């Protein structure tokens, strides 16, 4: 396994060397997961309701939120 973490200690990348499978995660400023991409390329984006419950993102909001979070540099890598 090859794991990478962001500055907050959150797992952002995991690669299974035996199978070559890669998975990615992204987090918001509160260290809550907002993005997941699995080894076959499927992406999931999340937002949170006012109680902190994770909810899926409606398709029409997907691209707007994706662009916003890619501009926010949460993906600085720290290898451990």
**Domain chopping of the chain, boundaries:** 2-79
- Asked whether the predicted pLDDT for residue 13 surpasses 70, the reply is yes
pLDDT tens for 56-69 read: 776 566 666 666 66
**Between these two residues, 3 and 79, which has the higher pLDDT value?**
3
Only one residue has tokens 């990478």, namely: 4
Continuous H helices in 1-80 = 59-71
| Angstrom distances, CA of residue 45 to CA of 14, 16, 18, 19, 64 | 18, 23, 28, 25, 11
* Token couple for 7: 């500055």
The Cα 56–Cα 48 span in angstroms is 8
3-state secondary structure of 12: strand
Question: What confidence score (pLDDT) does residue 16 get?
Answer: 87
């Amino acid at each position: 396994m090859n794991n990478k973490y962001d500055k907050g200690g959150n797992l952002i990348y995991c690669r299974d060397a035996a199978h070559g499978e890669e998975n990615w995660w992204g987090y918001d400023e509160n260290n809550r997961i907002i993005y997941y991409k699995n080894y076959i390329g499927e992406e999931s984006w999340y937002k949170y309701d006012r109680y902190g419950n994770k909810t899926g993102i409606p398709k029409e909001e997907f691209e707007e939120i994706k662009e916003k979070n890619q501009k926010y540099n949460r993906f600085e890598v720290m290898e451990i």
